[in-house]
Structure 1
Amino acid sequence: MILTGLDIDSKVKTKEIIISPYHEEQVNPNSYNFRLGAMIKVYNSFPLDPKVMNSVEEIIIPEEGYVLQPNRLYLASTEEVMGSNFYAPTFAARSSIARLGLFINLSADLGDIGYIGQWTLQLFTIHPLRIYRGMRIGQIMWWKPQGDIKLYNGKYQGSNGPQQTQIYKDFEKGASKVVFNI
């Protein structure tokens, strides 16, 4: 069951949902519009390797904006810290942003219950596009879970700014050495 905008507003006020900073005028009928943070990161050494920490270039978005180039992945973050120990979040681009040809999450739109931090966005555009820090870029929706809740306690908890992949930590733990006995 998705929460309505009125429910989101109510749950923020009771601190069951964290959105900070929070602005009531960004509440929609069943979502909350979030803004683009000030920094983007771009991988700068190829090929990328999931077994190591890949290097990135950090770019602060200037006041006049920054032009994204096609066929390049940019990591950005929400300006807001968001999360909940009670509701499961999903997020998507605002339709107005999608109409410009900008994807804000290529395949990772489901968040974990218990994650609280700035959300990393995967920006990908189909043609050159100027972005601005603080622009309303996406919307987060909140869903009431069914069943017992186990809170997220992973490697991205409490993120501040865009986070490049930390999948290499899975290799360090041996998590990728799964054997299937069928």
Structure 2
Amino acid sequence: MILTGREIAAQVKTGAIQIAPYDEQRLQPNSYDFHLGERIGWYTSEVLDCARENPFEEHAVPGEGMVLEPDRIYLASTREKIGSDSYVPIIRARSSIARLGLFVHCTADLIDIGSFGQLTLQLHAVQRVRIYPGLLVGQVTFWVPQGEIVLYEGKYQGSEGPRPSLVHRDFEAR
């Protein structure tokens, strides 16, 4: 079951959903619109390796905007810190952004229950597109879980800014 915009607002007031900063004007009928943060990064290696930490550089998104190129994955973050111990957040592009050919979250749109922080977005442009810091880029929905709740305690907890993949730690844990 998905929460309506009014129910999202009610759950923010009780603290069951955390969105900071929160602006009730960002509520939609069954979602909350979020902003692109001020930082963006990308991998600098031609080949990415799941078993090793990959070189990654991070930059400010200029106020005059930045053009994203096709055939590259960019990692950016939400301006807002978002999470819940009671509901499962799912993120996706706003339809206005998707209509420009910008994939805001290519995969892994499920945010684990109990995860809190700025969410890392996987940006991919079908053709060149200019983005800006603070752009209303995506939306988050909140879903009611069924069954025993086990809160997220993973490697991305409390993220701030774009976070590159930490999949190499899975190899180290073997």
Q: TM-score, normalised by structure 1?
A: 0.94
**Within-5 A mapping of 1:77-156:** 77-156=77-156
Q: Which amino acid aligns with 2:30?
A: N
SS in 2 for 1:25: helix
How far apart are the structure 2 equivalents of 1:97 and 1:53? 31
Once the two structures are superposed, what CA deviation does each residue of 1:36-55 show, in whole Å capped at 9, x if it has no partner?
Answer: 00011110012111111111
Unpaired segments ≥5 residues, structure 2: none
Rg: which structure is higher? 1
Once the two structures are superposed, what CA deviation does each residue of 1:123-150 show, in whole Å capped at 9, x if it has no partner?
Answer: 0001110000001000000001111100
How far apart are the structure 2 equivalents of 1:103 and 1:112? 21
SS in 2 for 1:34: strand
How far apart are the structure 2 equivalents of 1:133 and 1:15? 27
Offset of 1:105 from its aligned partner?
1.0
SS in 2 for 1:142: strand
SS in 1 for 2:171: helix
Q: Which residue in the other structure is 1:8 paired with?
A: 8
Offset of 1:155 from its aligned partner?
0.2
Q: Which residue in the other structure is 1:43 paired with?
A: 43
Q: Among the aligned pairs, what percent are the same residue?
A: 53
Once the two structures are superposed, what CA deviation does each residue of 1:71-97 show, in whole Å capped at 9, x if it has no partner?
Answer: 111000000000000000101100000
How far apart are the structure 1 equivalents of 2:46 and 2:124? 17
How far apart are the structure 1 equivalents of 2:85 and 2:67? 36
Cα RMSD after superposing both structures = 0.6
**Within-5 A mapping of 1:53-68:** 53-68=53-68
| Corresponding pairs, count | 174
How far apart are the structure 1 equivalents of 2:37 and 2:23? 15
Unpaired segments ≥5 residues, structure 1: 175-182
Runs of 4+ in 1 over 3 A off after TM superposition: none
Report the more deviating stretch, 110-119 or 44-53.
44-53
Q: TM-score, normalised by structure 2?
A: 0.99
